[in-house]
Amino acid sequence: MGFSALVCACVLALCGADAFTLPQRNEPDNDRPIIGILTQEVDDYMRKFGETYIPSSYVKYIESGGARVVPIRLNQSFAEHEKIFRSINGLLLIGGSVNLETSDFARTAGIYFRLALNANDEGDYFPIWGTCLGFQLLTVLVAGENLLSKTTAENVTYPLNFTAEASPSRMFTNFPSDIRKALSQEPLTANFHHYGVTKEAFLGNEKLSGFFSVLSTNIAQNGFEFVSTVEGRKYPFYGVQWHPEVNRFQWDPHYNFPHSRNAVHVSSLLAEFFVNEGRRSSHHFREAAEESSALIYNYSPVYVANISAYEQSYFF
């Protein structure tokens, strides 16, 4: 399999670029993509640094895919969020531990979720990615109810159990066959969750199963099978119950963070995939000065490796 794939690649290269052209869109790619990352309430002892935060690992993850990051503060007016939405090319919902229905994080994510649904309906491409809690939140927003149950997988790494829908998916399209294989056989995904949506609950809910394709599942420590990777059938919305960012950007030896070559490669491919989705959005800031002052470069991360599982974190 690996060998024949290699041979195919060589044949393609020899045929030259003229024979094979990728499908073209009408508009050129946006080569200066900006991804918004929604800040989240600090709910622990790190409160002394600020009310809200974004761990640096998520910022580096997006930057490594070739985009710039704009942190999005909670508690702004709808008009302000709408203005930010028109200025950014995608949204990342981070992991964490806030309430999926009542937190400011959940409420604000809902604003962007609805704006993105409408935009995509009108042909204005806008991708959203949810990691861990961010993915759980997407399921609540799509289903209109909380379908989570106990599916503990804490500090454990798994290979993905791919479904039949993984193979034709957009998310894994550009994965070389050896990396797809590694992802299905080696423990390259880090899990840090107590709740999730079981396969049964997911497929049993028409709103969820109609909205998302389930690309992979895993068996939790309590024996339940939970949905671990999804992508929107119609919308460019993506979710992972695991943490691709830790593979390259978190190093606390007390945790099971996969750092093998393949683990790093998977993390890179997914970061690039999501940023490439953002390239399809032509949203932009009205003025250069407004863009400059919104970017994450205006903030300095704080060293938190001695008090948390993160190396650094931004506080707002």
Task: Report, as residue numbers or ranges, the catalytic residues.
Answer: 132, 243
Q: Which of 75, 118, 167, 222 binds ligand NAG (CB under 6 A)?
A: 75
Q: Which of 89, 151, 213, 218 binds ligand NAG (CB under 6 A)?
A: 218
Cβ atoms within 10 Å of 255's Cβ, excluding its own: 14
Contact 171, 228 (CB under 8 A): no
- What's the closest the beta carbon of residue 216 comes to ligand NAG, in angstroms? 9
Q: What are the tokens at 286?
A: 């009205």
Q: What is the CA radius of gyration of the chain?
A: 19
Tell me the C-alpha to C-alpha distance, in Å, between residue 131 and each of 11, 193, 262: 37, 11, 20
Counting contacts by CB under 6 A, is residue 46 touching ligand NAG? no
# residues contacting ligand NAG (CB under 6 A)? 18
Our CB check for ligand NAG shows the closer of 64 and 161 to be: 161
The Cα 148–Cα 137 span in angstroms is: 10
Our CB check for ligand NAG shows the closer of 72 and 74 to be: 74
Q: Which of 46, 219, 264, 295 binds ligand NAG (CB under 6 A)?
A: 219
Counting contacts by CB under 6 A, is residue 41 touching ligand NAG? yes
Site for ligand NAG in 76-95 (CB under 6 A): none
From the list 28-36, 81-89, 94-102, 301-309, the region that binds ligand NAG by CB under 6 A is 301-309
The Cα 131–Cα 78 span in angstroms is: 24
- What's the closest the beta carbon of residue 280 comes to ligand NAG, in angstroms? 31
Our CB check for ligand NAG shows the closer of 41 and 277 to be: 41
Site for ligand NAG in 142-171 (CB under 6 A): 155, 158-159, 161
The Cα 90–Cα 236 span in angstroms is: 10
Q: Which of 104, 186, 245, 277 binds ligand NAG (CB under 6 A)?
A: 104
Q: What are the tokens at 12?
A: 């393609």
Our CB check for ligand NAG shows the closer of 149 and 256 to be: 256
Counting contacts by CB under 6 A, is residue 74 touching ligand NAG? yes
Our CB check for ligand NAG shows the closer of 75 and 293 to be: 75
- What's the closest the beta carbon of residue 219 comes to ligand NAG, in angstroms? 4
Counting contacts by CB under 6 A, is residue 52 touching ligand NAG? yes
Counting contacts by CB under 6 A, is residue 245 touching ligand NAG? no
**DSSP state letters, 32-70:** S-EEEEE-EE--SGGGGG-SEEEEHHHHHHHHHTT-EEE
Q: Which of 7, 207, 292, 303 binds ligand NAG (CB under 6 A)?
A: 303
**251: Cα separation from own chain's centroid:** 20
What is the pattern of x (binds ligand NAG, CB under 6 A) and - over residues 250-289?
Answer: ----xxx---------------------------------
Residues that bind ligand NAG in the complex, under the rule CB under 6 A: 41, 51-52, 74-75, 104, 155, 158-159, 161, 218-219, 254-256, 303, 306-307
